Structure 1
Amino acid sequence: MGKPLSYHEQETLENTKRLRQMMKELPPFCADFFRGIEPRTSSRTRIAYAYDLKTFFEFLKKQNPLFADYKMQDFSLTVLDEIQLMDLEEYMEFLKCYSTDKKEDLINTERGIMRKMSSLKSFYNYFYRRERIKNNPAALVELPRLHEKEIIRLEVDEVAKLLDQVDEGDHLTEKQREFHVKTRLRDLALMTLLLGTGIRVSECVGLNLDDIDFGTGGLKIHRKGGKEVIIYFGSEVEFALKDYIDERKHVTPEPGHESALFLSLQRKRMNVRSVENLVKKYARIVTPLKKITPHKLRSTYGTSLYRETGDIYLVADVLGHSDVNTTKKHYAALEDERRRSARNKVQLRDN
């Protein structure tokens, strides 16, 4: 037997299988597009493209009389040349609210529409640049204007209350308390890690026991795109992890999950959905008016780090943003706060 696949290799393998299944539901020429973008996109991104393209071709079948009798396999590349700008503007209108065979009344926000139209633009660009189609109406589509979302994060006192709640569990329901007895140290280690390092939830669930080095306070994680980096954690994270790992040693994991750091009650590696539910369960008690997700815990960490250091480049590096402008956009309000605080720092004349 060869070396077992890592969490991220396993995830890529499963996504690749899933994408192959989805491609059977799309026109045959779409396979060229997915082969072409494979070297520069993640398997998760390609799956998102596949869903978006399926929505587009189903729209053509339902809404455009020219294609009413078409099956998915009937669409050929020449169809892209027949479509005009007005057709794509109608598609953008359609995306606001539509139904599929499986779901009714699907509603897209501005960001949802933007993503689906961006997928279509990439699709058209691929074939246009290779001179396989003559027209590129997608390049002419004006995307919806995005309104900046308010950044939701926890305040300092809310972070403390949240960790207290995870530790004590005194406001959980009776049923939740039964589970809390078994998962307290795991939940506390997981939440402390997310709040104390700002790692993504996918990076968190992918952690193995041998990714932690308590000697250096380092943690090896797999960033988006598969890059391995080491980030560092403080004493609070260290104590919480050590307590959990001591307990973890007495658990016999299911085959194939022996190396996973965080285990479910079924003794298998925790997945992204279960961590999302865990965060929601505790956060709902502490901040019922804020919709807190693992990503909001990441924003909370970024805010705290920026307030402490004032170094936007450090925050970008620790959070794994490839472009510092992404970080600046998220912490614009804090940047303004810092600029205003600078107004009286420089004294021109003695009073």
Structure 2
Amino acid sequence: MEQKSFFEKRNLHNLEKIEYLKDDLPDFIDDYFLGIENQTSTLTRLNYAYDLRIFFDYVVKKVFKGKRTVKSLTLQDLESIASNDIERFLSYLNHYDYNGTLESCNERAKARKLSSVRAMFKYFFSKERISVDNAAKVSMPKLHDKEIIRLEVNEVVALLDCAESGTGMTEHQRAFHEKTRVRDIAILTLFLGTGIRISELVGLNNEDIDFSTNSFRVTRKGGNQAILYFSDEVADALARYLAYKEDDKNTPSGEHALFLSLKMQRISIRAVENLVKKYSKIVTPLKKISPHKLRSTYGTQLYRETKDIYVVADVLGHKDVNTTKKHYAAISEDIRRSVADKVVLRGDPTEKQ
């Protein structure tokens, strides 16, 4: 099935990157990645590789003072890395040089890198290949809550109207707009009407859409498949786009991908990010709107309508409802305020004689 090959190709691409990054990692990392292969996705391991590359670069520079190379590091060296070395690593991430490029990490990037380091130490400690897990002694950075950036109802209308009419576009943008208008409306409507992730949208095939039940099949984060449902408004946008594709003589007969680029190939994640950015900059120039923010917009609206955090978590594909609660806590406050006068105890005091 071609959809499966899309995700297989993505996994192969990630594996190739991991192999490339291993050149900058100690040899014992091979055992680590092999040991966690069945519990993690290729994307998770790729992110671990990026984070550990920076960590071990720090280790040879600052802990071993340049007397060792990354490739020469052993598990005995790993065991000798103290908890305060790892704490200094977090401070180092405020402003550091990697291969001649100055970098810096915010609190969330620091937390992710520490999680990657902790996971590695925990693995080798659990396998009794090191006798102490010093990374477990290091506290996670305090993470401040981020404001949920989303579109308001009037901004959603304006975004879709902009995609429909092309109002506010430059001449260069207008030159392509007529060719992509129907597709772009379908993409934006699907994001805003279902809250799917960008990878889920890009991976869709024509045969994943079932108009008889207004449903579609997606491959979720982690590889599991799910059936989701869409409204008549989303159905209309999708049907319009499919009819447009069918009438376009340039559409390849054997192409299964739902959304196509101008080159008549499966649209890329970068292209989808760019089209969302293009329209949102016209409509809401002060908000940085990405496909994930359209997902937040849907989640917000769904929570306001249902007032059921478990429904929102299920539809968005969150494995842990606490993830959903964390993102929509501010809306819970709105709901609590709105229902404050719903329970009447003794009636309206002004009506008493």
Q: Give the TM-score of the pair, scaled to structure 1.
A: 0.95
Aligned residue for 2:257, secondary structure, equals coil
Residue 80 of structure 1 aligns with an amino acid whose one-letter code is L
Q: Which residue of 2 aligns with 1:70?
A: 68
Q: Which residue of 1 aligns with 2:173?
A: 176
Once the 2 structures are TM-superposed, how far is the Cα of residue 6 of structure 1 from its aligned partner?
2.5
Q: Which residue of 2 aligns with 1:162?
A: 159
* 8 Å contact from structure 2 (residues 121, 135) kept in 1: yes
Once the 2 structures are TM-superposed, how far is the Cα of residue 61 of structure 1 from its aligned partner?
2.1
- Alignment of 1:119 with 2:120, yes or no, is no
Once the 2 structures are TM-superposed, how far is the Cα of residue 252 of structure 1 from its aligned partner?
4.1
* 8 Å contact from structure 1 (residues 214, 238) kept in 2: yes
CA distance in 1 between partners of 2:135 and 2:303 (Å): 39
* 8 Å contact from structure 1 (residues 153, 296) kept in 2: yes
CA distance in 1 between partners of 2:344 and 2:284 (Å): 43
CA distance in 1 between partners of 2:258 and 2:323 (Å): 30
Residue 260 of structure 1 aligns with an amino acid whose one-letter code is A
Once the 2 structures are TM-superposed, how far is the Cα of residue 203 of structure 1 from its aligned partner?
0.3
Q: Which residue of 2 aligns with 1:86?
A: 84
CA distance in 2 between partners of 1:338 and 1:350 (Å): 22
Select which of 341, 344, 348 maps to 1:347.
Answer: 344
Once the 2 structures are TM-superposed, how far is the Cα of residue 251 of structure 1 from its aligned partner?
4.8
- Alignment of 1:243 with 2:240, yes or no, is yes
* 8 Å contact from structure 1 (residues 251, 267) kept in 2: no
Q: Which residue of 1 aligns with 2:141?
A: 144
Residue 84 of structure 1 aligns with an amino acid whose one-letter code is A
Q: Which residue of 2 aligns with 1:44?
A: 43
CA distance in 2 between partners of 1:5 and 1:203 (Å): 12
Q: Which residue of 2 aligns with 1:34?
A: 33
Cα distance change of structure 1 residues 258 and 288 upon mapping to structure 2, 3 Å threshold: same
Q: Which residue of 2 aligns with 1:15?
A: 14
Residue 28 of structure 2 aligns with an amino acid whose one-letter code is F
CA distance in 2 between partners of 1:168 and 1:50 (Å): 45
Aligned residues with identical type, % of pairs? 50
* 8 Å contact from structure 2 (residues 2, 256) kept in 1: no
CA distance in 1 between partners of 2:267 and 2:103 (Å): 29
Cα distance change of structure 1 residues 3 and 153 upon mapping to structure 2, 3 Å threshold: closer
Q: Structure 2 matches for 1:309-320, cutoff 5 A?
A: 309-320=306-317
Q: Which residue of 2 aligns with 1:260?
A: 257
Q: Which residue of 1 aligns with 2:351?
A: none
CA distance in 2 between partners of 1:174 and 1:51 (Å): 40
Cα distance change of structure 1 residues 338 and 105 upon mapping to structure 2, 3 Å threshold: same
CA distance in 2 between partners of 1:279 and 1:267 (Å): 19
Q: Structure 2 matches for 1:161-310, cutoff 5 A?
A: 161-249=158-246, 250-252=248-250, 258-310=255-307
CA distance in 1 between partners of 2:338 and 2:17 (Å): 52
Aligned residue for 1:224, secondary structure, equals coil
C-alpha offsets along residues 239-287 of structure 1, whole Å, 9 cap, x if unaligned?
Answer: 11111111212254569x7111111111111111111111011100111
C-alpha offsets along residues 285-318 of structure 1, whole Å, 9 cap, x if unaligned?
Answer: 1111111010000010011111111121111111
Q: Structure 2 matches for 1:94-105, cutoff 5 A?
A: 94-101=92-99, 104-105=101-102
CA distance in 2 between partners of 1:158 and 1:295 (Å): 16
CA RMSD in angstroms, aligned pairs only:
1.7
Aligned residue for 2:286, secondary structure, equals coil
Structure 2 residues without counterparts, runs of 5 or longer: 349-353
Once the 2 structures are TM-superposed, how far is the Cα of residue 24 of structure 1 from its aligned partner?
2.8
* 8 Å contact from structure 1 (residues 61, 67) kept in 2: yes
Structure 1 residues without counterparts, runs of 5 or longer: none
* 8 Å contact from structure 2 (residues 3, 205) kept in 1: no
CA distance in 1 between partners of 2:210 and 2:3 (Å): 22
* 8 Å contact from structure 1 (residues 198, 302) kept in 2: yes
